[in-house]
Amino acid sequence: MNFSDHQIGIYAQGMFTDQRPQITTNLAELEAEAAESLSPEALGYIVASAGSGSTARANRDAFDAWRIAPRMMRSSAERDHSCTILGTESAAPLLIAPVGIQTLAHPDGELATVRAAAALGVPYVHSTQASHSFEEIAEGGGDAPRWYQLYWPTDESVLLSFLGRAKNSGFTTLVLTLDTTLLGWRPADLDRGYLPFLSNLGIENYLTDPAFQAGLEQSVEANPVAAAMHWAQMFPNPGLNWSQLAFLRENWDGPIVLKGICTVGDARLALDHGVDGIVVSNHGGRQIDGARASLDALPEIVDAVGEQMTVLFDSGVRTGADMAKALALGADAVLLGRPFLYGLALGGQAGVEHVLRCILAEFDLVTSLSGHTGAAELGRDSVVHA
Ligand SMILES: Cc1cc2nc3c(=O)[nH]c(=O)nc-3n(C[C@H](O)[C@H](O)[C@H](O)COP(=O)(O)O)c2cc1C
Ligand SMILES: O=C(O)C(=O)c1ccccc1
């Protein structure tokens, strides 16, 4: 993505026209705006975090504790933020995080999101728990770069089938999520007795899977409740361990990324096990209430393994300035979670595009104003700990 100071790239496109969706450009206010358009169940599921919410708050506090240290007069009129992430070209060091059940936010769900990713030229990561199947995304998703996020099902035939379908549908990189082998303690859902999957929401990849269907006594249509129960039996996987990675390597020939790394110890194990990258993440504070902030873990992990492998980051990114801070602290790229979902809730594909445009435009302004000509120039001396 090229920018110059005459035409602030994507910022100018549509920002001041009638076509712009009537959605705030104040990225910090998106959540409140989206809250008005979501049902209490969807709102609880999407926004709420684990337990008291302390980890989600810590994620934000960690961003506030770092301040950008701007440098002046450094010839930053022409800027280029494009990059290659594990062989995937992207307009900027930003990816759409894997998020399940996106039809909770908007009827177009993941199809709207992947099309927005295509429009902006950033990678889309498809959740195992999506409301649209691999094949639907491949057919209807345009030319967005596509990665696949795996929740490792305990049924091996379903696992292998997922890997094959993802490959055939053009998903190039595999992201194995480690931090959600069980769903965290989420009071907003527990109090409402709300589990979307039990209404067959967010299990489309399973319902359309031949290996999954082979384990059912009746078709999904004849007995949808039994299908949901079958999913509920193979989703929890707390037995997952490092020795199983070899199996994944044997059955996936693209890059493998581990998502949910929060410690130097696990980052080193990831390196020892030959994976290509990690995502430093605490799942947006949705899993362990009291876990450390994702951003607090980032610098030490980058110091330990950043030279040898790709280090991605998520949890708490809300603005372009946040993105700049995470990159300055050593992330190769960031994944955006809830903010794009808020855009989806407010305006479908156009809403997701709006949020991506805002965040990338602000990112471009922040990098230029702080004396950089591109994401690659951001470094530790671009920030100070307040
Ligand atoms: C509603 C919702 C559903 C999610 N579903 C998944 C998922 O299916 N797979 C996954 O790896 N992460 C999932 N995540 C976590 C995101 O990938 C990401 O780690 C997190 O949202 C980042 O934090 P943020 O929301 O503060 O940006 C989900 C997050 C949300 C908010
Ligand atoms: O809700 C989540 O955070 C998540 O990752 C998930 C897990 C299982 C099913 C759907 C989403």
Question: What value does the mean pLDDT of the chain take?
Answer: 95
Quick one: average pLDDT of 285-293?
98
Catalytic residue (choose from 81, 126, 283, 372): 283
* Per-residue three-class SS string for the chain: CEEECCCCHHHCCCCCCCCCCCCCCCHHHHHHHHHCCCCHHHHHHHHCCCCCCHHHHHHHHHHHHEEECCCCCCCCCEEECCEEECCEEECCCEEECCCCCHHHCCCCHHHHHHHHHHHHCCCEEEECCCCCCHHHHHHHCCCCCEEEEECCCCCHHHHHHHHHHHHHCCCCEEEEECCCCCCCCCHHHHHHCCCHHHHCCCCHHHHCCHHHHHCCCCCCCCCHHHHHHHHHHHCCCCCCCHHHHHHHHHHCCCCEEEEEECCHHHHHHHHHCCCCEEEECCHHHCCCCCCCCHHHHHHHHHHHHCCCCEEEECCCCCCHHHHHHHHHCCCCEEEECHHHHHHHHHHHHHHHHHHHHHHHHHHHHHHHHCCCCCHHHCCHHHEEEC
| Level-2 CATH architecture, domain 2-385 | Alpha-Beta Barrel (3.20)
If one residue of 46, 129, 287 were mutated to test the ligand 2 pocket, choosing by the most ligand atoms within 8 A of its CB, it would be 129
What's the 129 CA to ligand 2 centre distance in angstroms?
A: 7
**For 18-51, how does the pLDDT look when each residue is reduced to its tens digit (9 = 90+)?**
677 889 999 999 999 999 999 999 999 999 999 9
Q: Decide whether any atom of ligand 2 lies within 6 Å of the 285 Cβ.
A: no
| 64 CA to centre of ligand 2 in angstroms | 27
* Span 342-352, average pLDDT: 97
Ligand 1 neighbours, Cβ below 6 Å, are: 46, 97-100, 127, 129, 149, 177, 259, 281, 283-284, 314-317, 336-338
Q: Give the model confidence (pLDDT) of 71-88 as tens digits.
A: 999 998 888 999 999 999
Query: 381 CA distance to ligand 2 centroid (A)?
Result: 36
Distance 89 CA to ligand 2 centre (A): 27
**Segment 327-337, tens digit of pLDDT:** 999 999 999 99
Nearest ligand atom owner, CA of 259: 1
pLDDT (0 to 100) of residue 5: 47
Please work out whether the CB of residue 100 comes within 6 Å of at least one atom of ligand 2. Answer: yes
pLDDT for 6 beyond 50: no
Ligand 2 centre from 376 Cα, in Å? 32
* ipTM confidence: 0.99
User: In this structure, which ligand is nearest to the CA of 260?
Assistant: 1
Ligand nearest to the CA of 295: 1
Ligand having the closest approach to the CA of 232:
2
In short, whether 202's Cβ falls inside 6 Å of ligand 2 is yes
Report the range of poorest mean pLDDT among 1-15, 103-117, 156-170, 215-229. 1-15
283 is an active site residue: yes
Domain map of the chain by residue range? 2-385
Judge whether residue 10 has pLDDT over 60: no
Report the residue among 283, 294, 325, 334 best suited for mutation to probe ligand 1: largest number of ligand atoms under 8 A from its CB. 283
For residue 248, report the distance from its CA to the centre of ligand 2, in Å.
21
Residue 11 pLDDT > 60 = no
Residue 381 confidence (pLDDT) above 80: yes
pTM of the model: 0.97
